Amino acid sequence: MSAALKQKVAEEMVRRLKWHHRFYDLADLVASWSKDPSTQVGCVIIDTDTRAVLSVGYNGFPRGVVDRPEWYEDRAYKYPTVVHAEVNAILSSMADLTGATLYCNIGIPCPDCAGPIIQAGIKAVVYPPANGEHKARCMTKDGLDLGELSEQMFEDADVEMLEYPREIKL
């Protein structure tokens, strides 16, 4: 490979990585809108070809439900009532999401979100590796690794998964 071609390939890789960072940053901003004090999740759905933002979502109670701090503090209330960021983004979209790419700021989407992602026709999911605390608290249920279950669902449905570390420097 010539030096000029190597340079061109390197520049293209940096350009793509910059877009991943931008959408992670946007997902972090959207996550900050969540009133959940313990877990703030943000999601951005983009048009894969144009990189136009199609929708955003964050975790929170459904529209019209009062944001009661005591419900966020009590998992018995919180878990069955909170709408996840990915589902909020899908439900809030006015666009056709077929072929879109979804960015999530906290880790691979859970199986409850993987189903709607697949049904919406989203074809790529980009996420950072889950940190240990989030994985232990949110991605394990009755001894089942929910991340592995999501991976299998995405694999079966031909949804591309890209675990992209946030720490890569440009």
Distances (CA, A) of 69 to 2, 4, 66, 80: 60, 58, 9, 15
pTM here is 0.87
C-alpha dihedral, 24 to 26 to 27 to 29, nearest 10°: 130
- Strand, helix or coil for residue 85: helix
Report, as an integer, the average pLDDT of 102-107: 94
Cα distance between residue 45 and residue 57, in whole Å: 9
Residue 33's pLDDT band (boundaries 50, 70, 90)?
Answer: very high
Q: What is the pLDDT of residue 133?
A: 61
Quote the CA–CA distance of 56 and 86 in Å, as a whole number.
8
Pick from 49-63, 113-127, 140-154: least confident: 140-154
Active site annotation includes 86: yes
Question: Apex CA 21: angle with CA 138 and CA 107, to 5°?
Answer: 10
Catalytic residue among 11, 12, 86, 163: 86
